[in-house]
Amino acid sequence: MATELPDLGYKPTVGEAIKRAAQRFGDVDFLVLPDRRMTFAQAEAWSRRLARQMLASGLGKGSRVGLFFTYGPEFVVAWLAALRIGALVMPFSTVSKPPELRRMLRMGDVAVLLAPARLLGIDVCRYLEEVVPGLSDQAGDRPLLVDELPYLRSIWMVGAASIPWARAISLVDPQVDQRTGPHVGADGAEATDALLAQVEEEVVPADLAQVTYTSGSSALPKGVVHSHGSIVRTTAHFGELVQSGSSGMTATPGARPASPGERRVFCAFPFFWIGGTLVLGGALHSGFTILCLERFEPEEALTMVERERATSVAAWPSFIQSMRNHPSRVGRDLSSCPMLTDGPSDVALVNSPVPGVPAHRGMSETVGNWYGVDRRVMDPITGADLPEGAEGELLVRGYGLMQGYYKKEREEVFDPDGWFHTGDRAFLHGDRPYFKGRYSETIKVRGANVSPREVELMLEGVPGVQHAIVMGLPRSTGSAGTAELDEEVTAVVVPAPGCALDPAALADRARAELSAYKVPTRWELFEAEDEVPWLGSGKPDKGKLRELLRRRHAGP
């Protein structure tokens, strides 16, 4: 059974994983950027220092710690430090607009937010003053007290020595070594390595570790909650596959297990989403090196792959395809990374029993893979189990599955037998699920989930908009089998009587309030509400609306 707990030989907590990695891999590069490197030993030492600082400041098990960093050692050090003390870590997307981040900070009951002063050319201090009402009037020598964010007490920032409301910190410091010694908090409290060791002893696999926010079918984002045990056990399996020279979900037959650092993975999955968690955890367990950029750009990515001799790429297929098609690829030595030179850009299509239908890549709820979960496919109408090859709703259960959704009761998330109903249309082939689409309304855009209702609420707040109906329609990517995995956010808009709407102006408004991947790329204007098909319940009939749009744009 997939749900039998494996024995990793060490306590499966992230704190134990980084200490073990520092002992086993030491001076091997853990993370490499174009201008910076961090070894496993440095990651352990720097995160240990920050963990002591957190303890001296009153943080501990269960503290809600938010992270607002892109790829890089700062994210990794902060992530490790908070997990080492048993805090519940909440990484936030760095493409969030201020209202989106404010909503997630409140939903997550975040007490401390860690961020850089600047990020990808953005003044994060000014950005956060838009996120947190009245922040510019606060002083850093006393706790934040903000009605709209009732649990937020402080913001720690890298490179913010002159910001009155922020606590300045340093996360990446080459001068920090293995020496022990106390960290003194602002109130004179001391936290030593000995205290941290005792704290880490009390962090157990069952403790909640991370909440990954992903849009759901409702207006609010879903907070996917994972424990230390589920993160470490599932990502350890991924790390072993990478070290053995895997392709997709299975190890390459006859491949020689690599030594630490020999496997070098270029990662274009953001660290704040579950794909980043999968790669980071795998590296901690197996010692492969992660290569990344602060912002993905295909030419720079190719340069990194060539210079650092990457052996594989962890990215959404569209990113891999953009690297393979980039003009600068010609003449480069990419022989270390066969997936950029040979075979399909989408490994999920390899050996598919139905040509063009990809293997299901996993989801935030399963730490981005399928290890540690049992799978079954059920008829969504009768509830009967379906045989291999038959299409129905995918259900999963096991230790690799999330603990639940943040602020949702267990009964709202799992059925009485503990199964999670994914809402995905799939079939099984050799116990591996293959993805055919969704029963739910969630829109999939380059690996990110978009809640239609979230976009609808934003558009309905625009003066002159009477109705906004948002859905996902297949986007042609030019690659067989990927259209259903990459949808186009489509907005059907009906103006209020006597009003005229400009799609360009609506798009500008959406870009100001929503992350870029949530902004509709297709706009359909209807002159009156009676042009829209409606259900008896008063809700739009999206099935008929899709067919109406298909006919509207059908060729002669």
Token pair for 242: 């990478």
Token pair for 244: 């053995």
Euclidean distance between CA atoms 126 and 207, whole angstroms: 35
- The CATH class, in words, for 443-552 is alpha beta
Euclidean distance between CA atoms 427 and 389, whole angstroms: 5
Burial of 383 (0-12, 13-18, 19+ CB in 10 A): exposed
Q: In the predicted model, is pLDDT for residue 249 greater than 50?
A: no
Q: Which helix (H) or strand (E) covers residue 20, if one does? A: helix 14-25
Pairing of strands 264-267, 312-314: parallel
Mean pLDDT of 288-307: 95
Q: Which of 311, 365, 314 is nearest to 334 (CA)?
A: 311
Q: In the predicted model, is pLDDT for residue 53 greater than 50?
A: yes
Decide if 215 contacts 450 (C-beta within 8 A). Answer: yes
**pLDDT interval class at 181 (50, 70, 90):** very low
Cα-based distances in Å from 461 to 9, 116, 133, 337, 506: 55, 32, 20, 48, 11
Q: Which of 365, 359, 539, 379 is nearest to 452 (CA)?
A: 539
Q: Which of 139-148, 321-330, 509-518 has the highest mean pLDDT?
A: 509-518
Q: pLDDT at position 202, please?
A: 98
Domain edges within the chain: 40-224, 227-343, 364-438, 443-552
Mean pLDDT of 94-103: 91
**pLDDT interval class at 479 (50, 70, 90):** very low
CATH, domain 364-438, list 1.10.1380.10, 2.30.38.10, 1.10.540.10, 3.40.50.620:
2.30.38.10
Burial of 240 (0-12, 13-18, 19+ CB in 10 A): middle
Q: Which of 342, 282, 285, 343 is nearest to 314 (CA)?
A: 282
Long-range contact set of residues 524-530: C-beta below 8 Å, sequence gap at least 24: 524/490, 524/491, 524/492, 524/493, 524/549, 524/552, 525/493, 525/494, 525/495, 525/501, 526/492, 526/493, 526/494, 527/494, 527/495, 528/494, 529/466, 529/467, 529/494
Comparing 198 with 342, the larger pLDDT belongs to 198
Decide if 510 contacts 520 (C-beta within 8 A). Answer: yes
**Among all chains, which residue has been given the structure tokens 């995160």?**
47
Mean pLDDT of 130-134: 95
Output the average pLDDT for the chain: 87
Euclidean distance between CA atoms 474 and 492, whole angstroms: 15
Decide if 143 contacts 154 (C-beta within 8 A). Answer: yes
Q: Which of 472, 494, 274 is nearest to 369 (CA)?
A: 274
Q: pLDDT at position 317, please?
A: 77
pLDDT digits (tens, 9 = 90+) for 136-151: 888 767 899 999 999 9
Q: Which residues are CB-contacts of 241 (< 8 A; sequence separation ≥ 6)?
A: 249, 250, 251, 282
Euclidean distance between CA atoms 356 and 430, whole angstroms: 18
Q: In the predicted model, is pLDDT for residue 179 greater than 50?
A: no
Q: pLDDT at position 399, please?
A: 95
What are residue 377's DSSP bridge partners? 394
**Among all chains, which residue has been given the structure tokens 């829209």?**
532
Sheet-wide strand order for 374-378: 374-378, 392-397, 420-429, 432-438
Helices (H), 173-227: 193-201
What number does CATH give the domain 227-343? 3.40.50.980
Give the torsion through C-alpha atoms of 68, 72, 75, 81, to 10 deg.
-160
Q: In the predicted model, is pLDDT for residue 288 greater than 80?
A: yes
**pLDDT interval class at 394 (50, 70, 90):** very high
**pLDDT interval class at 182 (50, 70, 90):** very low
Q: pLDDT at position 238, please?
A: 92
Q: pLDDT at position 322, please?
A: 81
Q: pLDDT at position 481, please?
A: 41
Decide if 171 contacts 73 (C-beta within 8 A). Answer: yes
Q: pLDDT at position 300, please?
A: 96
Q: Which of 50-64, 188-202, 498-512 has the highest mean pLDDT?
A: 50-64
**pLDDT interval class at 255 (50, 70, 90):** low
Q: pLDDT at position 204, please?
A: 98
What are residue 458's DSSP bridge partners? none
Euclidean distance between CA atoms 27 and 38, whole angstroms: 9
Euclidean distance between CA atoms 211 and 139, whole angstroms: 29
Helices (H), 26-72: 40-56
Helix and strand numbers, DSSP H then E, in the chain: 14, 28
pLDDT digits (tens, 9 = 90+) for 204-226: 999 999 999 986 545 567 899 99
Comparing 177 with 299, the larger pLDDT belongs to 299
Decide if 94 contacts 68 (C-beta within 8 A). Answer: yes
Q: What number of residues does the chain have?
A: 556
Q: In the predicted model, is pLDDT for residue 414 greater than 80?
A: yes
Decide if 36 contacts 44 (C-beta within 8 A). Answer: no
Q: pLDDT at position 498, please?
A: 84
- Comparing 227-343 with 443-552, is the CATH topology the same? no
pLDDT digits (tens, 9 = 90+) for 3-42: 689 999 999 999 999 999 999 999 999 999 999 999 999 9
**pLDDT interval class at 425 (50, 70, 90):** confident
Residue 459 main-chain phi, psi, to 5 deg = -70, -35
Looking at residue 278, its amino acid is L
**pLDDT interval class at 538 (50, 70, 90):** low
What is the fold of 40-224?
A: Rossmann fold (3.40.50)
Euclidean distance between CA atoms 210 and 213, whole angstroms: 10
Comparing 528 with 398, the larger pLDDT belongs to 398
Q: Which residues are CB-contacts of 534 (< 8 A; sequence separation ≥ 6)?
A: 540, 541
Decide if 236 contacts 8 (C-beta within 8 A). Answer: yes
Q: pLDDT at position 541, please?
A: 79
Q: What percent of the chain has pLDDT above 70?
A: 89
Between CA 139 and CA 146, with CA 144 as vertex, the angle to 5 degrees is 120
Euclidean distance between CA atoms 524 and 514, whole angstroms: 19
